[in-house]
Amino acid sequence: MTIDYTVKILAPAKGTHIIARGRVLKPGALITTAAADLYAVENDTETHCATALVTMRNVKAG
């Protein structure tokens, strides 16, 4: 379940493809915080297009 979700748009996503890199910043038993960055790639050059910070409440599946 999402508690908070923030996305910052930094640049237009112009290029031949997009790369997304995500990571868990702080795992926890009750709450987990993660981040993601998106990059547009053109001519082997990456442009940072967006960044996100997410806080989630951990719930059991089922």
* HSE value, Cβ hemisphere, 13 Å, CA-based, for 32: 11
Where does residue 51 rank: exposed (0-12), middle (13-18), buried (19+ CB within 10 A)?
middle
Q: Distance between CA atoms of 27 and 58, rounded to whole angstroms?
A: 10
Q: Distance between CA atoms of 43 and 15, rounded to whole angstroms?
A: 8
**pLDDT single digits (tens) 12-54:** 999 999 999 999 999 999 999 999 999 999 999 999 999 999 9
pLDDT at res. 61: 87
Q: List the domains of the chain with CATH numbers.
A: 2-57 (3.10.129.10)
